[in-house]
Amino acid sequence: MSQTNPTLPVLDLSRFAAGHPERAAALDELRSVARSVGFFYLEGHGIPQDEIDGILSLSRRFFALPEDDKLAIEMRKSPHFRGYNRAGLEYTRGTQDWREQVDFGPERQSLNIASGDAPWKRLVGPNQFPDALPELKPAILGYIEAVTGLGIRLIEIFSEALGQKPDVFGPIYRDGPNQLLKIIRYPGRDKTESDQGVGAHKDGGFVTILLQDVVGGLQVDDGKGGWIDAPPKRGTFVINVGELLELASNGYLLANIHRVVTPPAGGDRLSVAFFLGANLASTIPVLDLPPQLAAEVRGVTQDPQNPLFHEVGRNVLKSRLRSHPDVAAAHHADLLEQPKAAVPA
């Protein structure tokens, strides 16, 4: 029997609509996918292709700007971890990622931080947008609104697949979810120091909604010591389960490991990644699953190098401090672990 290369399944959002004849089968399929590989392509998502093409085009235009225009919104200037990073300035598990990118979130006012306040409150604040490309701001904010709506719909569907009411997570995202949008460019292998575009990791939110341009590079852990390639498919997003859903389901759902390998020499890769999480002030509940699902619970994956907390703000701040050491040192040195003093002999 000949073997075929594994690939990610494709799910159609329209099959989950109320009254659709395939709805029950679609929920069964989602459960199976979300507890095995944890990734799938989503079609029928309802976001117009011209909006998708527009955000990719503007991203390409931003990365083509002179370096000084990009550095005008350098992340190091933002205590909220918003703005532009040159390749090599973000880290995954202590190793440099080779991609340039801009991080955006919801437009919010900085909070007045009092002594004794939760440190995660420092993450709340405004974005940085480039003066050299004024069209980017309305496009980014509009896209965040669109994919947030899609993300909430997916959370509701996951909730139903877990035997819950659709709005079971509503109390922890309704008053302002944690939203992070990254526009990303991976330079070709001749421009980098390794083949690590992004190192192997899991995503921390509820769901990730990934838009890919035309060059592949995303790979998903197949659970057998290998990787599943996830090349771009026009008209789809790649969706994956985040650690919040794994925590809430006590490991019934899988937040799977994935990475991005550097594209071939002479080219580059463009993507737009949106991460939807819970309100930073919230705590993730553990759901009471129906007996037939509870019997298949595996427990949450434990990583000694990256402990998971049910307190959302604590988790997010930990991730940002580790991923962006330059920003952490510039604005949050008091939160960093200090080296232990030598013990006198």
The 10s digit of each residue's pLDDT in 204-251 is 999 999 999 999 999 999 999 999 999 999 999 999 999 999 999 999
Write the pLDDT tens digit of every residue in 294-319.
999 999 987 777 778 899 999 999 99
Decide: 177 and 281 in contact? Cβ < 8 Å: no
pLDDT number for residue 2: 34
pLDDT at 88 (0 to 100) = 83
Whether the Cβ atoms of residue 78 and residue 125 lie closer than 8 Å to each other: yes
pLDDT of residue 217: 95
pLDDT the model gives residue 175: 87
pLDDT of residue 215: 94
Looking at residue 4, its pLDDT comes to 46
Structure tokens at 280: 């930073």
Residue recorded with tokens 């392509």:
41
How much is the pLDDT for 3? 40
Q: In the chain, where does DSSP find H-type helix?
A: 23-36, 49-63, 67-71, 136-161, 170-173, 243-248, 291-294, 312-323, 325-331
CA–CA–CA angle 305, 311, 314 (5° rounding): 60
Q: Between helices 136-161 and 49-63, what is the axis angle to 10°? A: 130
- Separation of alpha carbons 41 and 230, rounded Å: 9
pLDDT of residue 338: 58
Domain locations in the chain as residue ranges: 10-286+297-334
- The band of 272, judged by pLDDT with boundaries at 50, 70 and 90, is very high
pTM of the model: 0.94
3-state secondary structure 161-212: HCCCCCCCCHHHHCCCCEEEEEEEEEECHHHCCCCEEEEEECCCCCEEEEEE
pLDDT the model gives residue 5: 59
Residue 277: which H helix or E strand, with range? strand 268-277
What pLDDT, on the 0 to 100 scale, is given for residue 279?
96
At 345 the pLDDT is 39
Query: What is the CATH number that goes with domain 10-286+297-334?
Result: 2.60.120.330
pLDDT tens for each residue of 15-59: 999 999 999 999 999 999 999 999 999 999 999 999 999 999 999
CA dihedral 5, 241, 243, 297 (to 10 degrees): -80
* Model confidence pLDDT, tens digit, residues 72-107: 999 999 999 999 999 888 888 788 888 999 999 999
Dihedral angle at the C-alpha atoms of 214, 73, 178, 205, nearest 10 degrees? 40
State how far the Cα of 239 lies from the Cα of 273, in Å rounded to an integer. 10
- Identify which of 153, 87, 148, 156 has the alpha carbon closest to the alpha carbon of residue 274: 148
